[in-house]
Amino acid sequence: MADAIFSNIRIERRVKQVVEKIIEKQSVVIHQLSASEAEQRSYYRLLHNPRLQTSQIISYLQADCGRQVEVGAHYLVFQDTTQPNFERNRHNISDQQQLGVIGDKQSLGFFLHPSLVVQADTGRCLGYSHVQVWSREAMAPDRKQRQYQKQPIEEKESYRWIQAAQASKQVLAKASALTIICDREGDISELFLQVPDNQTHLLVRSNADRLLVNGAGKLSTLLTSLPEGGRYQLQLAGETRRGRVARQAVVALRWAKVGLVMKGVGKALYVVEAKEIDAPAGKAPIYWRLLTTHAIQTQQQAQQLIYWYSLRWNIEQVFRLLKQKGLQVELLDLETGKALVQLTLLALFAASKIMLLHLASKQKEAVPLAESFTQQEVACMQALQKRYEGKTAKQRNPYPQDSLQWCYWIIARLGGWKPHEKQAGVITLLRGWNYFQHILHGWTLAQKFVS
């Protein structure tokens, strides 16, 4: 996979070694990854090697995703942006190349825009079909100075949504279908005009109240005039950042086929609206207005699209794993911006291992184990299961041993989760994975000693 990506075999081997160590340790601190001073020095040399390009690591991530694609499968591709902040370490960073100011216009960092890929029917996480990184200059012209409205889309940061979609189409070419899912930032006319094809669909939260074709008014006016298409209960994930706890919400659905004015031309799409009824006191009601290229004829189809959009929360979980409560990339103490960006990308790779377990736990059907874990890891989990299972049926691992859910149950138990509790979150799984790696090391040594 990596032969055509890296400039030589030594760099390739070292990158693979660092990735394996980050996955094993679920840490990005170099001295914690290293078994010796010599190994530690080799990792630092890698990150400061001018022949290791950031673009090569991105290609490595894409290639790993691409090799897992099943012919004829349907994949959901979730895009979003985060801003790793290295302001606390500014005084130690001697070379700030690849870094700049982030959204607050003063802190040192960079922008990271990954595309997380999940198989629609099984929930299997494949990693990332595209990753984009960029930085802003501190004294860069603002929108007014740049005459933003007149700029070509290719010169705007928002072009990242289109670039990510087009790159994902190439990486996932063997799929029968893919659905690109974006929040309101992705509501860009050019995205709808350039990306969809027979294989590629869009599902985007509407941001602009666009005009309907033929002078028929605005989208919001049309939705207000539509009768309800049905109501149902939607499970909402908790969002700490927004102060929202997980809850069941009753939502009313409306949908219609629409012609929207985009860049002076008409674009045929479908719109589905999910509006929460009787939200709890003090809680903002959920309101999602989604634009899609998927046809909507029935309530079941509308609910399916709402469900897929609700899964967008998982890319936020990836960001949680990268930051303070997870791998803590923002606490990295490295001397160059290039090293910080590249190690963050390798951490992104490791986060997908936890997401693999987390997403599998949400599925009703067993997700095949495939090659997700080594034989040694599975054997160690088998031994651990006996310790963590109780005497009653509720205290036992209920999943088939050849499934990812079976692994999830064991790792979650190691992280402190109890079977009577709701499903374990990503931070609990991260904690469990760290504990498992300590146990695995001792278990492996014991097996060698016994043999």
| CA Rg value for the chain | 23
Per-residue model confidence (pLDDT) at position 1: 45
Strands (E), 206-284: 230-236, 247-262, 265-276
Return d(Cα 288, Cα 84) in angstroms, integer: 28
Mean pLDDT of the residues in the chain? 91
Return d(Cα 370, Cα 360) in angstroms, integer: 13
- Residue 35 in this model has a pLDDT that exceeds 90: no
Per-residue model confidence (pLDDT) at position 2: 44
The residue type at 332: L
Tens of pLDDT along 422-440? Answer: 889 999 999 999 899 889 8
Per-residue model confidence (pLDDT) at position 6: 87
All domains of the chain in start order, with CATH: 57-332 (3.90.350.10), 361-450 (1.10.740.10)
Return d(Cα 18, Cα 15) in angstroms, integer: 5
Tens of pLDDT along 322-331? Answer: 997 899 999 9
Tens of pLDDT along 237-278? Answer: 766 556 667 788 999 999 999 999 999 999 999 999 999 998
- The residues that bridge with 289 in the sheet, in sequence order, are 273
Locate all alpha helices (DSSP H) within 269-398, ordered by sequence.
299-310, 313-322, 337-360, 375-388
Going by C-alpha positions, the residue among 248, 246, 271 that lies closest to residue 192 is 271
The whole-number average pLDDT for the span 96-107 is: 94
Residues 290 and 260 sit within 8 Å (Cβ to Cβ)? no
Residues 213 and 204 sit within 8 Å (Cβ to Cβ)? no
Per-residue model confidence (pLDDT) at position 450: 61
Tens of pLDDT along 293-340? Answer: 999 999 999 999 999 999 999 999 999 999 978 999 999 989 999 999
- Residue 3 in this model has a pLDDT that exceeds 60: no
Per-residue model confidence (pLDDT) at position 143: 64
Which H or E run includes 143? helix 143-146
pTM: 0.92
CA distances in angstroms from 247 to 30, 144, 236, 304, 430, listed in the order given? 40, 42, 5, 19, 24
